[in-house]
Amino acid sequence: MTAAARRGRADYGFDAPYVPLFLCGWGTVLIVVAVITFVVGSGLIATAVLLLGLFTLLSGISFVYTTRRGKLDVWAELVAELPLTGRERVLDIGCGRGAVLVRAAHRVPDGRAVGIDLWHRVDQTGNTADATRHNLDHEGVEGQSRLTTGDMRALPFTDASFAVVLSSLAIHNIADREGRRVAIAEAFRVLQPGGQMLVADFRATDEYAATLHDLGANDVTARNLGWRFWYGGPWAATKLVTATKQ
């Protein structure tokens, strides 16, 4: 048995767990209702209910795929493309259980990958610092990683501390527009000159890009990350905002 196996399996939980539970559960109920309706003889109504049930169930399956597999594969590719030497400091804002943080830590064996979060379980199942430490340990990157509890609107780091700043599906959890603007500004503040920022989200990405433009960021871009990062379907597609600092 390997050392990693003895430490247990990494588990990155489910994002917004009540959403896929509702979609899959309600979709299943609608399909059952459609079958019953077919039996009693109302074919037109049964067909409509069946289609709605299949649509809802497939949306739930898409959500589960993204949170358990799709986003991990996409982030592995994004982090692999970063021009790192292995000695940099990387920050993951809203790191949750460490899915992105682990991938960043693998790229900086002689540097440091730092994750910050408030550990809200409504955002992700089992979202605790201890769960994240377990995953870091299992993945063999605990030595080059560090966790911090803190608010992304007031990052406890000095200016220009990190070569790369990452964030995945976290900043939208701030309810007000001004709070999201402050979070983006804070992320940009701690980014080193010449550093790169990558923010993935399915809401407010236009706000993020506009804020970065206002802050004087270079090469601000936004692009759709594709079907592997759909939270239920293309109407909840995740976009990636990237920028560099002068």
Q: Which of 4-18, 68-82, 139-153 has the lowest mean pLDDT?
A: 4-18
Residue 147 corresponds to which tokens in the numbers above?
């966790």
Which residues are 222's β-sheet partners?
A: 241
How high is the pLDDT of residue 8?
59
Q: What is the DSSP string of 11-66?
A: ----BSTHHHHHHHHHHHHHHHHHHHHHHHT-HHHHHHHHHHHHHHHHHHHHHHHI
CB 59 within 8 A of CB 67: no
Residue 10 corresponds to which tokens in the numbers above?
């990494």
- Per DSSP, the three-state class of 181 is helix
- Is residue 106 pLDDT above 70, yes or no? yes
How high is the pLDDT of residue 1?
35
Strands 239-244 and 191-201, sheet pairing: antiparallel
Span 148-194, pLDDT tens digits: 999 999 999 999 999 999 999 999 999 999 999 999 999 999 999 99
Structural domains present in the chain: 85-244 (3.40.50.150)
Closest residue by Cα to residue 71 from 190, 155, 170, 149: 170
Task: Report the alpha-carbon distance of residue 159 to residue 176 in Å, rounded.
Answer: 24
